[in-house]
Chains A and B, each alone.
Chain A
Amino acid sequence: MQNRREFFKTVAGAAAGAYAVGRGIPVLAQRGGGGGAGRGGGAAAAAGPVKRKEISIGGKRVTVIDVHSHCTVDGVAEVVKGTPFERQAGGRALGADRIALIDGEGIDIQVLTINGYWWWEVQDRDLANRIVRAQNEGLAKWVSDHKDRFVALTSVSLQFPDLAAEQLDYGVKQLGLRGATIGGHVNGQSLSDPKFDPFWAKANELGVIVFMHPGGADNIIKEDAWKARGDIGNIIGNPLETTYFLTRLIFDGTFDKFPNLKVCGAHGGGYLPSYFQRTEVACDVRGNAMCANKKHPREYLKTNIMADTMVLTDEGLRHLVAEMGISQVVYGTDNPLNWPVPVEMIVNHSTLTNAQKEQILSGNLMKLLKITSPATA
Chain B
Amino acid sequence: MRNRRDFVKALAAATAGGFVAQRGLAWAQGAAPKRREVFIGRKRIKVIDSHAHLNIAAVADVVKGTPFERQATTTGDGIIGPARIAWMDRDGVDVALLTQQGAFWYAVTDRGLARDIVKVQNEGTAAVVAKYPDRFFGMASMPLQFPDLAAEALEDGIKRLGFKGGGISAGWAGAKNLSDPEYDVFWSKAQELGAFLFMHPGGTNGNGDPHFAGKGALGNTIGNPLETTIFLSHLIYEGTLDKFPGLKICGAHAGGYLPSYMGRTDAQCRRQDDVCTGKKRPVDDYFKTQLMADCMVFREDGLRHMVAEMGTGQIVYGTDMPFGWPITPDFILNASFLNNAQKEQILGGNLIKLLKLAPNTTA
Q: Do A and B come from one complex?
A: yes
Q: Which residues of A contact B (CB under 8 A)?
A: 14, 19-20, 23-25, 188, 190, 219-222, 224-225, 228-232, 234-236, 238-240, 243-244, 247-248, 250-252, 267-268, 271, 274-292, 310-313, 315-316, 318-319, 322-323, 338-340
- Report Cα–Cα, A244/B267, bound state, in Å: 22
Contact code string B189-233 (vs A, CB < 8 Å = 1, else 0): 000000000000000011110011011111011101110011001
A222 interface neighbour in B206, B279, B309, Cβ under 8 Å:
B206
Question: Could you say which residues of chain A place their CB within 8 Å of the CB of B272?
Answer: 14, 19-20, 23, 231
B251-301 contacts to A (CB < 8 Å)? 253-254, 256-257, 260-279, 296-299, 301
| Cβ contact within 8 Å between B253 and A284 | no
| Cβ contact within 8 Å between B299 and A319 | no
**4 tightest A-B CB contacts, nearest first:** A312-B263, A251-B216, A230-B237, A286-B217
Quick one: given A231-B272, A274-B305, are A244 and B237 in contact (CB under 8 Å)?
no
| Cβ contact within 8 Å between A339 and B237 | no
- Report Cα–Cα, A222/B221, bound state, in Å: 19
Question: Could you say which residues of chain A place their CB within 8 Å of the CB of B261?
Answer: 239, 268, 271, 274-275, 311, 316
Question: Could you say which residues of chain B place their CB within 8 Å of the CB of A220?
Answer: 207-208, 211-212
B132 within 8 A of A: no
Closest to B283 in A: A230
- Report Cα–Cα, A235/B218, bound state, in Å: 20
| Cβ contact within 8 Å between A236 and B216 | no
| Cβ contact within 8 Å between A312 and B264 | yes
Is chain B's interface secondary structure helix, strand, loop, or mixed overall? helix
Could you tell me the distance in whole angstroms from the C-beta of B154 to the nearest C-beta in chain A?
Answer: 25
Could you tell me the distance in whole angstroms from the C-beta of B314 to the nearest C-beta in chain A?
Answer: 15
Could you tell me the distance in whole angstroms from the C-beta of B267 to the nearest C-beta in chain A?
Answer: 5
| Cβ contact within 8 Å between A275 and B216 | no
| Cβ contact within 8 Å between B260 and A274 | yes
Q: Which residues of B contact A (CB under 8 A)?
A: 10, 14, 17-20, 174-175, 177, 179, 205-208, 211-212, 214-218, 220-222, 224-226, 229-230, 233-234, 236-238, 253-254, 256-257, 260-279, 296-299, 301-302, 304-305, 308-309, 323-326
Could you tell me the distance in whole angstroms from the C-beta of A151 to the nearest C-beta in chain B?
Answer: 26
| Cβ contact within 8 Å between A230 and B233 | yes
Closest to A221 in B: B207
- Report Cα–Cα, A279/B175, bound state, in Å: 28
Quick one: given A252-B214, A267-B264, A315-B308, are A275 and B324 in contact (CB under 8 Å)?
no
Quick one: given A229-B237, A274-B260, A278-B225, are A248 and B270 in contact (CB under 8 Å)?
no
Could you tell me the distance in whole angstroms from the C-beta of A312 to the nearest C-beta in chain B?
Answer: 3
- Report Cα–Cα, A371/B218, bound state, in Å: 38
| Cβ contact within 8 Å between A229 and B278 | yes
Question: Could you say which residues of chain B place their CB within 8 Å of the CB of A248?
Answer: 214-216, 218
| Cβ contact within 8 Å between B264 and A289 | no
Q: Can you add 4 more A-B contacts, CB < 8 Å, to A228-B237, A274-B260?
A: A224-B175, A248-B218, A275-B302, A285-B325
Could you tell me the distance in whole angstroms from the C-beta of B273 to the nearest C-beta in chain A?
Answer: 7
Question: Could you say which residues of chain A place their CB within 8 Å of the CB of B262?
Answer: 313, 316
Question: Which residue among B208, B215, B233 has the maximum number of chain A CB atoms within 10 Å of its CB?
Answer: B215
Quick one: given A228-B237, A232-B233, are A275 and B254 in contact (CB under 8 Å)?
yes
| Cβ contact within 8 Å between A247 and B216 | yes
Question: Which residue among B218, B263, B266 has the maximum number of chain A CB atoms within 10 Å of its CB?
Answer: B263
| Cβ contact within 8 Å between A278 and B270 | no
| Cβ contact within 8 Å between A277 and B271 | no
- Report Cα–Cα, A252/B10, bound state, in Å: 21
| Cβ contact within 8 Å between A235 and B216 | no
- Report Cα–Cα, A347/B209, bound state, in Å: 43
Report 24 cross-chain contacts, Cβ distance below 8 Å, ordered by A residue: A19-B272, A20-B271, A222-B174, A229-B278, A230-B265, A231-B272, A235-B264, A244-B218, A267-B264, A271-B229, A274-B260, A275-B254, A275-B261, A278-B221, A278-B225, A280-B298, A283-B216, A287-B14, A287-B17, A287-B19, A310-B263, A310-B264, A319-B304, A322-B305
Question: Could you say which residues of chain A place their CB within 8 Å of the CB of B297?
Answer: 275, 277-278
Question: Could you say which residues of chain B place their CB within 8 Å of the CB of A252?
Answer: 214-216
Could you tell me the distance in whole angstroms from the C-beta of B181 to the nearest C-beta in chain A?
Answer: 13
- Report Cα–Cα, A231/B273, bound state, in Å: 10
Question: Could you say which residues of chain A place their CB within 8 Å of the CB of B238?
Answer: 228-229
Question: Which residue among A24, A271, A278, A322 has the maximum number of chain B CB atoms within 10 Å of its CB?
Answer: A278
Question: Could you say which residues of chain B place their CB within 8 Å of the CB of A316?
Answer: 261-263, 305
- Report Cα–Cα, A74/B299, bound state, in Å: 49
Question: Could you say which residues of chain A place their CB within 8 Å of the CB of B217?
Answer: 282, 286, 288-290
Question: Which residue among A220, A238, A251, A284 has the maximum number of chain B CB atoms within 10 Å of its CB?
Answer: A220
Quick one: given A287-B17, A322-B301, are A236 and B229 in contact (CB under 8 Å)?
yes
Question: Which residue among A290, A316, A340 has the maximum number of chain B CB atoms within 10 Å of its CB?
Answer: A316
Question: Could you say which residues of chain B place their CB within 8 Å of the CB of A238?
Answer: 264
B309 interface neighbour in A277, A278, A280, A315, Cβ under 8 Å:
A315
Question: Could you say which residues of chain A place their CB within 8 Å of the CB of B20?
Answer: 287
Could you tell me the distance in whole angstroms from the C-beta of A71 to the nearest C-beta in chain B?
Answer: 20
Closest to A26 in B: B270
Question: Could you say which residues of chain A place their CB within 8 Å of the CB of B308?
Answer: 315, 318-319
Could you tell me the distance in whole angstroms from the C-beta of B284 to the nearest C-beta in chain A?
Answer: 9
Closest to B275 in A: A231
Question: Could you say which residues of chain B place their CB within 8 Å of the CB of A277?
Answer: 254, 296-299, 302
- Report Cα–Cα, A309/B261, bound state, in Å: 12
Could you tell me the distance in whole angstroms from the C-beta of B249 to the nearest C-beta in chain A?
Answer: 17
| Cβ contact within 8 Å between A230 and B215 | no
Quick one: given A247-B216, A315-B305, are A235 and B278 in contact (CB under 8 Å)?
no
Quick one: given A232-B233, A271-B260, A275-B254, are A286 and B215 in contact (CB under 8 Å)?
no
Closest to A279 in B: B221
Could you tell me the distance in whole angstroms from the C-beta of B218 to the nearest C-beta in chain A?
Answer: 7
| Cβ contact within 8 Å between A339 and B271 | yes
| Cβ contact within 8 Å between A243 and B19 | no
Question: Could you say which residues of chain A place their CB within 8 Å of the CB of B216?
Answer: 247-248, 250-252, 279, 282-283, 289-291
